[in-house]
Amino acid sequence: MPLQNTITKAATYLVLLLALAGLCSCAAQVPQPNAYLPIPNPAQLKWHKSEMRMFVHFGMKTFYPNSHHLGSGTEDPNRFNPTKFEPKQWVAAAKAGGFEGIVLTTKHHDGFCLWQTQTTKHSVKSTAWRDGKADVVRQLAQACREQGLSFGLYVSIIDKNFEHAGSKKYNNYSDFYYDQIKELSTQYGPIDEYWFDGFKADKLKINYKKIAHLIRKTQPHAVIYDSGTLVKYIPDRCLAWPKHHGGVQPDQNYRQKINGVTRWYPNEASIILQGNWFHYGKPAVSLKKWKKYYLQSVGYGTTPLMNIGPNNKGLIDQATVKRLKKFKIWIDSLKQKTTPIATANHTRLNAKKFQPQNITDQDFETYHATDDKILTVNLQLTFPKKQNLAGFTLQEYITLGQRVDSYAIDCWVDGQWQEIVKAKRIGYKRIHLIDSLPATNRVRLRILSAQACPLISTFHVITK
């Protein structure tokens, strides 16, 4: 081959390689949208992604069973005797129900402590159970971590035993309570969530600023359900009290004013699935009610604590375990994969990184985006054939902030679009289950208004 031809060919290859490299570089440089502040702290984002955590009320009231859950603080520690206590069974039950973690009542209002505390004798140390050597908190924490579940602590602000008996060691409740939080924060490994019950908290003289500093230093990755007590001092990773137990309202707004600053402050629902927090011989509520609670919490964009109280043997009832398994089967049915083709009337810089097909992969980390100034968009799903619909699941990519203010969902029926849903906020997740939906092969999500360019992670059709 002549030298000139060889040089020409090499130059052509070089030009092509440089062009290809330029294209790759351009693709890599397609910027993601700027965050629309505030955004969730990593601990809050982990909480959102967990979707459900199991609340476990277990303590002295388990052995003084009735429908009143407060306790008096004068209970006999030797009544606490869970002869078959097995935390691995609790963890297995939580996993069977689809829960990402467990939050335990380490101390409820009666003041009885489930760990080897040095602050009071009103604890497992004073029981005959396992010669006073057992530590429910440590054993459950270990069982959770072995099976990959998060672990959280409920530590009642109220302490009826301290009110009744006082303390020879402590002159005031604030120091007493601080030392309890310090023990739990420094001796039991990583804590994923603190749950502070704020019942009458305003009447107690507790140094919440000091507690907040302790948590910030010792457990930097924990989210904090603060009941309004700690958000003043740790405003970047708290969860709000929705003013009642049970589900929450739709259209959740995570953006709340705290001390004059807009913060990420989502509500955490707390829901009773069995007993009145503590087990007192009553069966779990019906599966139908479980589903309703799920749709009124997870389906409205919040992560609930769903409470199941172990019995006085230290085990979750077998009938409850069976219901947990059925509950998980139903939840999984809402996520069954569908294979539509997704299209959009606008995509950010026409970049593959933000393609509409991202909304169908059920991966929260991928999303469709528009250009910065485009605050409305139509996203359409087209199926090869008609589908019998049961509802829809939506997700916003909240890592970069909550944006959507209103949206609608339409079905293609008899040659025209028929509006099925009209609602406000999406948030981390929004589930619409609807009776008597028309069969169709085309559905459309219309983002009608947003505070910044909408980022849609999921538009999923639930089929029958």
Residues 361-373: tens digit of each pLDDT: 999 999 999 999 9
pLDDT of the residue at 204: 77
Cis, bond preceding 38 (omega within 30 deg of 0): yes
Q: How far apart are CA 56 and CA 310, in angstroms?
A: 7
Inform me whether the pLDDT recorded for 12 exceeds 60.
no
Q: What is the side-by-side strand order in the sheet with 368-369?
A: 368-369, 455-463, 389-396, 430-433
**Amino acid at position 280, single letter:** Y
Inform me whether the pLDDT recorded for 59 exceeds 80.
yes
- Residue for token digits 């990755």? 221
> 42-333 sits in which CATH class?
alpha beta
CA geometry: angle 336, 464, 438, nearest 5 deg: 125
Mean pLDDT of 372-380: 98
> Higher pLDDT residue, 12 or 169?
169
Mean pLDDT of 61-88: 92
Burial class (CB in 10 A: 0-12, 13-18, 19+), 251: middle
- In tens, the pLDDT along 189-234 reads 999 999 998 766 667 789 999 999 999 999 999 999 988 889 999 9
Burial class (CB in 10 A: 0-12, 13-18, 19+), 223: buried
Mean pLDDT of 23-33: 65
> What is the share, in percent, of the chain residues with pLDDT greater than 70?
93
341-463, what's its fold?
A: Jelly Rolls (2.60.120)
Q: How far apart are CA 93 and CA 82, in angstroms?
A: 18
Inform me whether the pLDDT recorded for 7 exceeds 60.
no
- In tens, the pLDDT along 88-126 reads 999 999 999 999 999 999 999 999 999 999 999 999 999
Q: In the numeric block, which tokens belong to residue 222?
A: 């924990």
pLDDT of the residue at 430: 98
Domain ranges of the chain: 42-333, 341-463
> What is the share, in percent, of the chain residues with pLDDT greater than 90?
87
Task: Tell me the pTM.
Answer: 0.92
Q: In the numeric block, which tokens belong to residue 53?
A: 């955590």
Q: How far apart are CA 396 and CA 58, in angstroms?
A: 36
pLDDT of the residue at 25: 42
Mean pLDDT of 343-366: 97
Q: How far apart are CA 101 and CA 191, in angstroms?
A: 11
Strands (DSSP E) found in 234-293? 238-239, 255-258, 261-264, 270-272
Q: Is 121 left (phi over 0), alpha (psi -120 to 50) or beta?
A: alpha
> Higher pLDDT residue, 33 or 6?
33
Mean pLDDT of 44-69: 94
Mean pLDDT of 160-185: 95
* Phi, psi (deg, nearest 5) at residue 145: -70, -35
Strand partners, 431: 393
Cβ neighbors of 247 (< 8 A, separation 6 or more) are 269, 271, 292, 293, 295, 296, 297, 300, 304
Note the helical H segments in 219-359.
287-295, 318-333
Q: Is 32 left (phi over 0), alpha (psi -120 to 50) or beta?
A: beta
Cα-trace Rg, the chain: 26
Inform me whether the pLDDT recorded for 23 exceeds 70.
no
- Residue for token digits 């025209």? 416
Inform me whether the pLDDT recorded for 378 exceeds 50.
yes
Question: What is the enclosing helix (H) or strand (E) of 393?
Answer: strand 389-396
Q: In the numeric block, which tokens belong to residue 419?
A: 């509006």
Inform me whether the pLDDT recorded for 447 exceeds 90.
yes
pLDDT band at residue 28, thresholds of 50, 70 and 90? low
- In tens, the pLDDT along 407-442 reads 999 999 999 999 999 999 999 999 999 999 999 999
pLDDT of the residue at 11: 43
Mean pLDDT of 333-347: 95
Mean pLDDT computed over every residue of the chain? 93
Closest CA to 180 of 222, 117, 126, 105: 117
Q: Distances in Å between the alpha carbon of 282 and those of 247, 275, 278, 323?
A: 21, 6, 10, 14
pLDDT of the residue at 335: 94
3-state SS class at 161: helix
Tally of CA atoms within 13 A in the half-sphere of 387 that contains its CB = 22
Strand partners, 105: 154
CA 419 to centroid of chain Cα atoms: 30
Inform me whether the pLDDT recorded for 391 exceeds 60.
yes
CA geometry: angle 461, 408, 377, nearest 5 deg: 95
Q: In the numeric block, which tokens belong to residue 170?
A: 């402590």
Contact 167, 121 (CB under 8 A): no
DSSP-assigned letter for residue 124: G
